[in-house]
């Protein structure tokens, strides 16, 4: 068949190669027959071969088929040995790394449900451990025992922490040796932190030698026949526990007294795990200890310890006195806060009071060097801030620094005070400031009125001085004297009654004095002279008579040199009797003139022309 190669075309009849020339047609026919025969004979197999080739050559078909068996294949292979895991491990690690590098979020999200509780637990444990340490520190530093230990630390040169640990130690696994059983060669070794260790190789050898020596001693002395294991070696403050396996021995150096349960809980399981994981390395051991580095975690799991008074952080309860201490601290804090708050309130209250004071302006206030301070401007007439501090607040004056610069304030109260201090009004005079007008009312000595008129204009903050409601003491007394006077007349005449010259002289003097005094105080004295008659006779005649009597007195004053300008006269007949008329004596009294004095502001008439001129 090698001379007639076949081309296999799926689902098509088998073709032979083309004959080389027409002369060989017969041969070709023969061959065609052969092919036909072959087709008839092997066609089903041919189709199967074609299908197989298709399956082999088409990667898609292959992949589909492989996908059907992949899971089963992996399962099968994994049950045989670990080579698949080993082969896949680098790829998985690389895939993981590249996935994290590309986008760490999916990984972070996937592990966060695990990480969260773990972190929370770790934090809780750390906090609890911290409180525990604090508790221990308090206990150990405050007690008599603590003092003793401190002294011991000083004496031995150890740190205090170390001494405390030594005394509170119940037990501590200091070192763990993994030893090859027959040779005593050290396979791996771990030690607790801060434990000083000798050369572990030598110790391992010595431990094995000692075990051997003890065994042979047991054989020789007590005739033990089978291999006895030594479980424990007591070295005073330390013990060495041996855990013996088929090929390796675990030697555990423990300081203090440990519970026997450690053996079952930690040591035996660790040794078993090592025997299982390192079964090949142990069986073929010939000095190479490198593979046993992988056993370190198992050895480290044996590094257990327990201290007096120390309990599992998770089960540790915060002691009552720590709560009390905490409560005390809180109470102290609250008290301090309350006092600070109250002090602050008092301070702001003081500042508000100062601000409300006329003539005080606060420019700066606060705390400095543990003291409060306030600085600003103060009118010398304003209230004394120290007095306000002392009398109106409960602040400690020693804790307050004040700095005041003098200035002149224009608050009405201060201007009033300033006016009052500058004018020094006599009793009976009231000063009031209203819209810059200082108004004085009451009665004052004439001289004061004169001075006040002059001084008031110079007081800062006073625009005008109004003394229209002020009366001079002297003018007032003269007015009263004049108004008490009455000049009597003879019946029915304008003749002055006998014996009247003396009062008339006094009256003249009083009027002259008043006229002289009033202008200096800015006043003008207007005097109204009213004539009176008794009720006898004709009322019209009486009216005339009364007017004449008033004019008669005015003429008399003129004669005596009194300017008549500020006088007015009128007659009242018998309508305004000076005295109720019931007797002849009363009638005599009513035949008279009376005086009414008005002290008017001299400036008023002067102002009037100005207004009228507008």
Partner 1 sequence: MIRKKICLLGAFAVGKTSLVARFVKSLYSDQYITTVGVKVDKKTVKVGDREIALIVWDVAGEDEFQKVQMSYLSGASGYLLVADGTRGNTLETARMLEQRVTETIGALPFIFIINKSDLAPEWEIDDQALAECESQGWTVVKASAKTGEGVEAAFAQLAEKMFRK
Site residues, partner 1 (CB under 8 A)? 180-186, 199, 201-202, 204-206, 209-210, 212-213, 215-216, 286-290
| Nearer CB in complex with partner 1: 181/560 | 181
Q: How far is CA 245 from CA 184, 187, 264, 272, 487, in A?
A: 13, 14, 14, 8, 155
To partner 1, the closest distance from the beta carbon of 115 in angstroms equals: 37
Min separation Cβ 223 and partner 1, Å: 16
Rounded to a whole number of angstroms, the minimum distance from the CB of residue 194 to partner 1 is: 24
CA–CA distance, 235 with 175 (Å, rounded to integer): 14
Q: How many angstroms separate the CA atoms of 280 and 300, rounded?
A: 22
Distance CA 20, CA 28 (A): 10
Q: Which residue has the tokens 């593979």?
A: 291
Name the residue nearer to partner 1 (CB basis): 208 or 592: 208
Ordered DSSP codes for 31-71 = HHHHHHHHHHHHHHHHHHHHHHHHHHH-HHHHHHHHHHHHH
Q: Measured between alpha carbons, how far is 466 from 448 in angstroms, rounded to an integer?
A: 14
Q: What torsion do the CA atoms of 253, 258, 260, 265 make, to the nearest 10 degrees?
A: -80
User: Cβ 73 to partner 1, closest distance in Å?
Assistant: 40
Q: Single out the residue of 245, 251, 303, 253 nearest to residue 274, CA to CA.
A: 245
Query: Taking the C-alpha atoms of 148, 151, 152 and 155 in order, what is their torsion angle to the nearest 10 degrees?
Result: -160
- Say if strands 400-406 and 371-378 run parallel, antiparallel, or are unpaired: parallel
Question: CB of 325: closest distance to partner 1 in angstroms?
Answer: 54
Ordered alpha helix ranges (H), 424-500 = 446-456, 473-484
Q: Report, in Å, the least distance between residue 191 CB and partner 1.
A: 17
Residue with tokens 């601000």: 355
Q: How far is the CB of 183 from partner 1 (least distance, A)?
A: 3
Output 214 or 377, the one with its CB closest to partner 1. Answer: 214
Q: Pick between residue 87 and residue 202 the one whose CB is nearest to partner 1.
A: 202
Q: Which is nearer to partner 1, 34 or 210 (CB)?
A: 210
Nearer to partner 1, 229 or 342 (CB): 229
* CA 278 to mean position of chain CA atoms: 62
Q: What is the dihedral of CA 294, 298, 299, 305, to 10 degrees?
A: 150
CB of 181 to partner 1, least distance (A): 8
Residue number, 190 or 514, with CB nearest to partner 1 = 190
Q: How far is the CB of 189 from partner 1 (least distance, A)?
A: 11
Q: Which is nearer to partner 1, 216 or 493 (CB)?
A: 216
Q: What is the DSSP string of 73-90?
A: HHHHHHHH-SHHHHHHHH
Question: Measured from the CB atom, is 201 or 265 closer to partner 1?
Answer: 201
Taking residue 395's Cβ as centre, other Cβ atoms within 10 Å add up to 16
Min dist CB 199 to partner 1, Å, is: 6
If the CB atoms of residues 205 and 358 are measured against partner 1, the closer one turns out to be 205
E-assigned strand segments in 333-473? 360-368, 371-378, 400-406, 429-434, 437-444, 464-472
**Least Cβ distance, residue 224 to partner 1 (angstroms):** 14
Contact 475, 522 (CB under 8 A): no
Instruction: For residue 210, give every residue at least 6 positions away whose Cβ sits within 8 Å of its Cβ, in sequence order, or none.
Output: 233
Going by the DSSP 8-state scheme, the letter that residue 224 receives in this structure is -
Least distance to partner 1, CB of residue 243, Å = 18
Minimum distance, C-beta of residue 246 to partner 1, in the bound complex (Å): 14
Measured distance CA(232)–CA(239) in Å, rounded: 7
Q: Is 178 helix (H, G, I), strand (E, B) or coil?
A: strand
Nearer to partner 1, 25 or 182 (CB): 182
Q: Which is nearer to partner 1, 220 or 502 (CB)?
A: 220
Whose Cβ is closer to partner 1: residue 290's or residue 582's?
Answer: 290
Q: In angstroms, rounded to a whole number, what is the distance separating the alpha carbons of residues 421 and 458?
A: 13
Query: Which residue stretches of 369-411 are H helix?
Result: 385-392
SS (H, E, C) 186-210: EEEEEECCCCCCCCHHHHHHHHHHH
Min dist. Cβ of residue 186 to partner 1 (A): 7
* CB closer to partner 1 out of 191 and 374: 191
Tokens of 613: 């001129």
């Amino acid at each position: 068949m090698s001379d007639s190669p076949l081309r296999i075309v799926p689902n098509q009849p088998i073709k032979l190669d083309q004959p080389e020339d027409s002369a060989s047609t017969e041969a070709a026919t023969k061959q065609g027959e052969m092919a036909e025969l072959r087709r008839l004979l092997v066609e089903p197999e041919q189709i199967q071969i074609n299908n197989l080739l298709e399956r082999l050559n088409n990667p898609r078909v292959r992949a589909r088929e492989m996908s059907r068996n992949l899971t089963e294949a992996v399962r099968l292979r994994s049950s045989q040995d670990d080579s698949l895991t080993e082969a896949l491990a680098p790829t998985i690690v690389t895939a993981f790394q590249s996935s994290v590098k590309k986008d760490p979020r999916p990984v972070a999200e996937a592990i966060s449900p695990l990480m969260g509780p773990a972190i929370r637990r770790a934090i809780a444990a750390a906090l609890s451990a911290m409180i525990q340490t604090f508790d221990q520190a308090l206990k150990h530093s405050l007690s008599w025992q603590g003092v003793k230990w401190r002294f011991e630390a000083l004496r031995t040169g150890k740190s205090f922490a170390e001494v405390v640990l030594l005394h509170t130690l119940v037990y501590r696994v200091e070192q763990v040796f993994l030893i090859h059983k027959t040779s005593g060669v050290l396979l791996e070794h771990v030690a607790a932190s801060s434990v000083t260790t000798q050369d572990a190789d030598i110790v391992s050898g010595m431990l094995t030698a000692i075990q051997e020596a003890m065994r042979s001693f047991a054989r020789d002395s007590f005739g033990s026949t089978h291999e006895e294991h030594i479980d424990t070696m007591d070295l005073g403050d330390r013990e060495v526990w041996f855990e013996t396996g088929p090929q390796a021995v675990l030697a555990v150096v423990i300081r203090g007294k440990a519970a026997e349960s450690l053996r079952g809980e930690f040591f035996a399981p660790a040794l078993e795990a090592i025997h299982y994981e390192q079964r090949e390395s142990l069986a073929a051991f010939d000095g190479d200890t490198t593979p046993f580095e992988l056993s370190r975690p198992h050895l480290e799991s044996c590094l257990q310890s327990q201290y007096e008074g120390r309990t599992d952080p998770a089960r540790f309860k915060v002691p009552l006195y720590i709560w009390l201490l905490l409560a005390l601290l809180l109470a102290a804090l609250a008290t301090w806060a309350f006092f600070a708050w109250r002090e602050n309130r008092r301070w702001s209250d003081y500042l508000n009071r100062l601000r409300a004071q006329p003539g005080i302006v606060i420019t700066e206030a606060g705390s400095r060097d543990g003291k409060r301070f306030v600085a600003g401007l103060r009118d010398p007439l304003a209230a004394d801030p120290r007095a306000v501090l002392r009398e109106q607040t409960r602040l400690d004056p020693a804790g307050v620094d004040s700095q005041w610069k003098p200035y002149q304030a224009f608050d009405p109260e201060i201007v009033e005070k300033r006016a009052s201090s500058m004018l020094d009004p006599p009793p009976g005079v009231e000063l009031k400031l209203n819209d810059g007008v200082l108004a004085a009312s009451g009665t004052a000595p004439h001289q004061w009125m004169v001075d006040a008129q002059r001084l008031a204009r110079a007081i800062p903050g006073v625009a005008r001085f109004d003394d229209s409601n002020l009366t001079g003491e002297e003018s007032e007394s003269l007015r009263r004297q004049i108004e008490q006077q009455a000049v009597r007349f003879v019946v029915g005449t304008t003749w002055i009654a006998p014996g009247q010259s003396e009062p008339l002289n006094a009256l003249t003097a009083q009027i002259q004095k008043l006229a002289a005094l009033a202008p200096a105080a800015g006043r003008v004295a207007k005097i109204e002279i009213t004539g009176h008659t008794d009720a006898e006779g004709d009322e019209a005649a009486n009216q005339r008579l009364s007017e004449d009597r008033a004019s008669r007195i005015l003429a008399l004053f003129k004669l005596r040199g009194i300017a008549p300008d500020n006088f007015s006269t009128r007659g009242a007949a018998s309508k305004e009797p000076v005295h109720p008329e019931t007797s002849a004596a009363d009638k005599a009294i009513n035949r008279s003139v009376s005086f009414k004095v008005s002290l008017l502001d001299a400036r008023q008439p002067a102002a009037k022309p100005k207004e009228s001129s507008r």
